[in-house]
Amino acid sequence: MKSFKITTLLCLFAGFTQVHAAEWDIIHAGTLLAVPGESVTAQQSVILKDGKVYGIKNGYIDASDLSMDSSDSLEIHNLKNHFVTPGFIDGHVHLTFAFSPTAMLSMVQMSDADTAMLGAKHARDTLMAGFTTVRDVGAWTDDAIFALRDGINAGYVVGPRTFVAGNPIAINGGHGDFTHSFKESVANVLRTSGVCDGVTECRKAVRDQIRRKADHIKLTATAGVLSDSNAGLEQQFFEDELSAIMDTAKLMGRRVTAHAHGAQGINAALKAGANTIEHGTFLDDESIRLFIENNAYLSPTLSAFETGRQLLNNPNSYLTGNQREKAEVAMNAANTFVKRAHEAGVNIALSTDAGVGPHGDNAKEFELLVKYGGMTPMEAITAGTLKGADNIGKLDELGSLEAGKWGDIVAVKGNPLDDITILQNVSFVMKEGLVYKHIAD
């Protein structure tokens, strides 16, 4: 009887114990930039196990060089004629938005489901451009951006790994309050849970985004170019409101990024504890001191300024008078502020404000960081990989091809260290060990 019981228990235990068959991938990289900022190496094998980097070996290895079980699978990817880097990271996108003459009207016409479908299209375009991770920094819809993020994470939707803020925290009538120009009955429908006035409302607005499972908090510390308001580009929240937003977010374990153009607003946000400043157009010496002192990041969105230039140069563009006036002021500083910050040693993370400009053109930002930011191609790539990961608080998971990090890999023909524009035409995209863009035969 005892023997029967033991045998039965062993059989039951075996029934609940399943041997996991590992999924291995080997990338044969002709040229490899595993850790941006460090040396490039030739003829390397990047080894992935279950979607994460397992190691890197010299030369082109095969199955005989791995400790594989008989049930394991292996796929070898031939990138011997390519330059291989970690997947790119964009720290500022709006996946569910596309600025256009009808953008305001679409807020009334489109359902959350419609908006999520539009966001799915933008997400796919972004991933195919080599951006395997993005941070969405504000959406006007209640549910679409959360559904899109969760759909991507579940594998239902093709797109980059996405971290979202939900509604931006904004003052009544300020940038991030999407009710400008609408009559009151429509405005009451469109007003989001992120709009707040006073310390108590600001705390509640932050908590409401976190209740909805926001990954981080975005606030609009100053007015913005594209809000149809004549409030300029300076500070909008009072200091006690800023402190309430920052303290509440950090008490609940969230990083905070602040939209800010004017120096007064930039500095107030940094003093209150912002981890990142989006745009930073009119930063001054005090701003630079605060950036460095707080180890904060500048997220410059030069691509958005390029879009602004195009619209300003067209007298028949759909910019309103208020938008045109503010855009002209911002463009005067757009060519110099990133270089100033870079030369002073400020942390800079690649960010595009995609949604203001086209989704899928995100890699144009690398070129702009070199052109206007005074960066070398290596520094620009680092801004879009390692620095990007640090900016969003995910340096232990992303930004380089090191053991334990996600297997996010991009490959291009040619050497982007010689010509940064090569990154605008990626040949191969892998996210977490799954290939989404294959080398053409």
Q: Is residue 218 part of a domain?
A: yes
Q: Is residue 78 part of a domain?
A: yes
Q: What is the CA radius of gyration of the chain?
A: 24
Same domain flag for 298 and 352: yes
User: What does DSSP assign to residue 169?
Assistant: B
The CATH number of the domain holding residue 419 is 2.30.40.10
15's tokens: 């029934």
Structure pTM?
0.92
Beta bridge partners of 42: 31
Question: Number of folded domains in the chain?
Answer: 2
Q: How far apart are the first and last CA of the chain?
A: 65
CB 399 within 8 A of CB 385: yes
Residue 259: closest CA among 379, 351, 160 = 351
Q: Is residue 193 part of a domain?
A: yes
**Each residue's pLDDT expressed in tens, for the chain with a length of 441 residues:** 444 344 444 444 444 455 679 999 999 999 999 999 999 999 999 999 999 999 999 999 999 999 999 999 999 999 999 999 999 999 999 999 887 767 677 777 788 899 999 999 999 999 999 999 999 999 877 799 999 999 999 999 999 999 999 999 999 887 876 666 766 766 666 667 789 999 999 999 999 999 999 999 999 999 766 666 666 678 999 999 999 999 999 999 999 999 999 999 999 999 999 999 999 999 999 999 999 999 999 999 999 888 877 777 777 777 777 777 767 777 777 789 999 999 999 999 999 999 998 999 999 999 999 999 999 999 999 999 999 999 999 999 999 999 999 999 999 999 999 999 999 999 999 999 999 999 875
Q: Is residue 12 part of a domain?
A: no
Q: Is residue 13 part of a domain?
A: no
Q: Is residue 119 part of a domain?
A: yes
Same domain flag for 126 and 51: no
The CATH number of the domain holding residue 158 is 3.20.20.140
| Range list of H helices, 89-238 | 103-109, 112-128, 144-154, 184-190, 198-211
Same domain flag for 358 and 411: no
Same domain flag for 107 and 78: no
Q: Is residue 227 part of a domain?
A: yes
Token look-up 């300003």 returns 312
CB 266 within 8 A of CB 283: yes
Task: List all residues 6 or more positions away from 90 whose beta carbon is below 8 Å from its beta carbon.
Answer: 126, 131, 133, 134, 135, 160, 350, 351, 352, 354, 362, 365, 384, 388
Q: Is residue 222 part of a domain?
A: yes
Residue 169: closest CA among 281, 257, 277 = 257
Sheet containing 52-58: give its strands across: 52-58, 41-49, 23-32, 73-86, 409-412, 428-431, 434-437
Same domain flag for 23 and 133: no
Same domain flag for 93 and 53: no
Same domain flag for 386 and 407: no
Same domain flag for 381 and 412: no
Same domain flag for 206 and 264: yes
Same domain flag for 168 and 265: yes
Last residue of a domain, one of 355, 371, 391: 391
Same domain flag for 186 and 95: yes
Same domain flag for 319 and 379: yes
Segments forming the whole domain that contains residue 55: 18-87+402-437
SS3 content of the chain, % helix, strand, coil (to 5): 40, 20, 40
Cα–Cα distance between 234 and 268 in angstroms, integer?
Answer: 11
